[in-house]
């Protein structure tokens, strides 16, 4: 496999849910990984180089680039929506200023590819029957979505002015085991609780008829790496390949697979995001298909 650029890839937010999946996939496919995160490296025995680094500190980030040859970047580091609402100043420092520092270092040190983990929240709330494509107008409704959109604009500016190859993947709600989310625990629990032998409960905050755009973390990693490896993406922005799932159907399937699990629904609507998505731009260009969420749940039960 041609890993290019000495095979060295920087992954920011490397200890996060998506970052861990990306790092593992990169290593399996022959890349050398430099994993950056603002939290202390663990003792997992991971093979990639893990570095404690706050991307809001430009001198600290500069030292990382000076000490090693970085050919490509997958940028995932971010303050997530709930935390961003609680501390907008810190969220702006990380999500905007930190991203700008990273783009500037990429320019200065000759990085050839910059892949950005964006979000479907850049579209804001859309009518329930609208199928949203990359041609739809972005209209974020919170700090998180606004920052994602601004970084996309920054990336476009750096590509036009400096030739840095920039691509953004707009990602939906990510599911899979091991997310360790304090605010959206259900995204992991729908997989992790399938094997429980005792009664367990999952709190899913949305109303039954609501639709959510879901994608498994392993599929997100594959899409990000596909953008990283592409020599000439046809576009700068792509919707991730997500599946529109009705909340009540998700509840029924989890409870069917393990009758000891009870999924309690809430009263929230999926505000700030589309419900239906056109992902054909990525699907067609990269010949990419995901495994349906319910099939992945069933496979999870079979593996146990």
Closest CA to 8 of 116, 112, 151, 155: 112
Question: What pLDDT, on a 0 to 100 scale, did the predictor assign at position 197?
Answer: 75
pLDDT category at 180 given cuts 50, 70, 90 is: confident
Q: Is the pLDDT of residue 205 over 90?
A: yes
Fold of 174-213+242-270+291-303: UDP-galactose 4-epimerase; domain 1 (3.90.25)
Domain boundaries, the chain: 5-172+217-239, 174-213+242-270+291-303
Q: Mind listing the pLDDT tens digit for each residue in 136-160?
A: 999 999 999 999 999 999 999 999 9
Sequence-ordered list of residues with C-beta below 8 angstroms from that of 36, at least 6 positions apart, any chain: 10, 11, 12, 13, 14, 51, 53, 55, 64, 77
- Residue % of the chain over a pLDDT of 90: 84
For residue 227, how far is the Cα from the chain centroid? 13
Query: Region 119-147: what's the mean pLDDT?
Result: 96
Coil, strand or helix at 114: strand
Token pair in block for residue 140: 């974020």
Question: What pLDDT, on a 0 to 100 scale, did the predictor assign at position 302?
Answer: 64
Query: Region 157-167: what's the mean pLDDT?
Result: 96
In words, the CATH class of domain 5-172+217-239 is: alpha beta
As a whole number, the mean pLDDT across the chain is 92
Query: Region 161-167: what's the mean pLDDT?
Result: 96
Query: Region 170-193: what's the mean pLDDT?
Result: 91
E strand map for the chain? 8-12, 32-37, 49-52, 72-75, 113-119, 131-132, 165-171, 173-175, 200-206, 211-216, 237-239, 243-246, 261-268, 276-277
pLDDT category at 254 given cuts 50, 70, 90 is: very high
Q: Is the pLDDT of residue 45 over 60?
A: no
pLDDT category at 198 given cuts 50, 70, 90 is: confident
């Amino acid at each position: 496999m041609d890993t290019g650029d000495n095979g060295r890839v920087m992954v920011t937010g490397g200890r996060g849910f998506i970052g861990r999946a990306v790092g593992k996939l990169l290593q399996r496919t022959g890349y050398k990984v430099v994993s950056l995160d603002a939290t202390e490296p663990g003792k997992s025995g991971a093979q990639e180089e893990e570095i404690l680094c706050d991307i809001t500190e430009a001198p600290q980030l500069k030292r990382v680039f000076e000490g090693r040859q970085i050919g490509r970047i997958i940028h995932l580091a971010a303050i997530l929506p709930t935390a961003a609402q609680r501390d907008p100043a810190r969220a702006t420092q990380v999500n905007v200023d930190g991203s700008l520092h990273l783009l500037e270092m990429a320019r200065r040190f000759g990085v050839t590819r910059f892949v950005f983990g964006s979000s479907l929240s850049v579209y804001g709330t859309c009518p329930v029957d609208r199928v949203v494509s990359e041609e739809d107008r972005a209209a974020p409704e919170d700090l998180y979505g606004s920052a994602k959109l601004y970084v996309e604009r920054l990336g476009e500016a750096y590509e036009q002015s400096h030739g840095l190859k920039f691509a953004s993947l707009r990602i939906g709600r990510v599911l899979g085991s091991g997310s360790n989310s304090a605010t959206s625990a259900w995204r992991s629990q729908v997989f992790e609780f399938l094997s429980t032998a005792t009664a367990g409960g999952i709190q899913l905050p949305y109303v039954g008829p609501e639709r959510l755009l879901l994608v498994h973390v392993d599929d997100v990693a594959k899409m990000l790496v596909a953008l990283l490896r592409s020599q000439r993406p046809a576009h700068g922005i792509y919707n991730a390949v997500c599946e529109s799932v009705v909340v009540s159907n998700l509840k029924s399937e989890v409870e069917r697979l393990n009758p000891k699990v009870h999924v309690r629904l809430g009263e929230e609507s999926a505000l700030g995001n589309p419900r239906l998505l056109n992902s054909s731009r990525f699907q067609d260009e990269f010949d990419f298909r995901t495994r349906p969420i319910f099939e992945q749940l069933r496979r999870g039960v079979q593996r146990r």
